[in-house]
Amino acid sequence: MIKFFYNVAPNPMKVALLLEELGLPYEAIAVDTRKGEQFAEAFLAVNPNAKVPAIVDGEVTIFDSNAILLYLAEREGQFVATDLRSPARGQMLAWLMFVASGIGPFSGQSVHFRHMAPEPKEYALNRYDFEAHRQWGVIEKHLAGKSFMVGEAYSIVDMAFWGWARMLPFVLGTGEATWTQYPNVKRLLDAISARPAAQRAEALKTKHAFKTEMDAQAKQFMFPQNERLNKA
C-alpha cells in the first residue's frame, strides 16, 4: 500500500485527487507543518527537503507533487499521454511544468506576502501579485474554447491546476470577484470539484485535526528564515 504524507495545502491535494481518481489503496499520513512535524527524522528520511507531499510506494520514494503525479499516472497508464513523441505528451509536459515552476511558486509567494509577511512588504507583494495574476491570465486565455488543460482529455495537468485553483480568491486577495476575471478557470475548477474523486480528496480535511493557529511556534516552523532577522 502506498504511504501518502500530506497536509491540506494545494500541493498535497493534487496528489490526493490523483490517488482517488486511480482508486489506489493508500495510507494517508498527516504531517502537521505548523507543529514542525516536517522536521522529524522519520519524515526527513522520506523527504530531506522537509516538504509535503511525499509518497513511499514499496521500494520507491518520491517527493515533489508534480513528480508524484507523473510517476503514479505513468505507473497506472491513466490520465497521461504515454506516446513520448505525441503532441499531447509535449503539451502535457509543458503545462505540468508551467504549474510546477510558475503557478505554484508565484501563487505561494503571493499568499505569503499578502497574508503572512511583516511590513514593509509593498514591493514584494506587488511583484508576486503581478506575476500570479499574469500566470493565471495565461491559463485563463489558454482554457478559452477548451474543456481541459490539454485538449479534450482530463489529465494530471488538470489535477495540478485544481490544487491551486481552489485557493485562487485567497491567493489573489480578490474574493468572489476573482471569478469575474477568471471565468474559464472557474468553469474548469467547478467541473473537477464535482467529480466524486475530488470530493473524496477534499474529505481528507476531516481525517486529521491540523493546527490552524499561526502562533509564534507555528511561524518559527513555517518561516525559519525569520530567525536570521531576529539575530541581526
225 located within any domain: no
Confirm if 183 and 143 have CB atoms less than 8 A apart.
Answer: no
Query: Is residue 100 domain-shared with residue 165, that is, in the same domain?
Result: yes
Q: Are residues 59 and 99 in the same domain?
A: no
Handedness of CA 184, 186, 191, 195 (dihedral sign): positive
Which three-class secondary structure state does DSSP give residue 61? strand
172-185: average pLDDT: 97
Q: Which residues pair with residue 56 across a beta bridge?
A: 3, 61
pLDDT at 219: 87
Question: What is the pLDDT at residue 230?
Answer: 78
Q: Are 222 and 211 in contact (CB under 8 A)?
A: no
Residue 57 and residue 119 in one domain: no
Task: Identify whether 120 is preceded by a cis peptide bond (ω within 30 of 0).
Answer: yes
Query: 183: domain CATH number?
Result: 1.20.1050.10
Inter-residue contact 162 to 14 (CB < 8 Å): yes
Q: If you search the block for the grid coordinates 470577484, which residue do you land on?
A: 177
Full domain range(s) for residue 132: 87-195
- What's the whole-number mean pLDDT along residues 68-96? 96
pLDDT tier for residue 177 given thresholds of 50, 70 and 90: very high
d(CA 139, CA 136): 5
Task: Establish if 218 belongs to a structural domain.
Answer: no
Q: How confident is the model at residue 148 (pLDDT cuts 50, 70, 90)?
A: very high
Residues 190 and 205 in one domain: no
Question: By percentage, how much of the chain surpasses pLDDT 70?
Answer: 99
Q: How far apart are CA 117 and CA 222, in angstroms?
A: 12
pLDDT at 232 over 60: no
Give the chain's mean pLDDT: 96
Q: Is there a contact between 12 and 52 (Cβ–Cβ < 8 Å)?
A: yes
The residue that leads in pLDDT, 230 or 19, is 19
pLDDT given at position 228: 85
Domain assignment present for 22: yes
Residue 183: which pLDDT band, with cuts at 50, 70 and 90? Answer: very high
Q: Is 172 found in the same domain as 110?
A: yes
For 159, the grid coordinates are 489535477
Q: Which residue would you say has higher pLDDT here, 8 or 230?
A: 8
User: What CATH number corresponds to the domain at position 17?
Assistant: 3.40.30.10
In a domain, 19, yes or no: yes
> Model confidence at 151, in pLDDT bands (50, 70, 90)?
confident
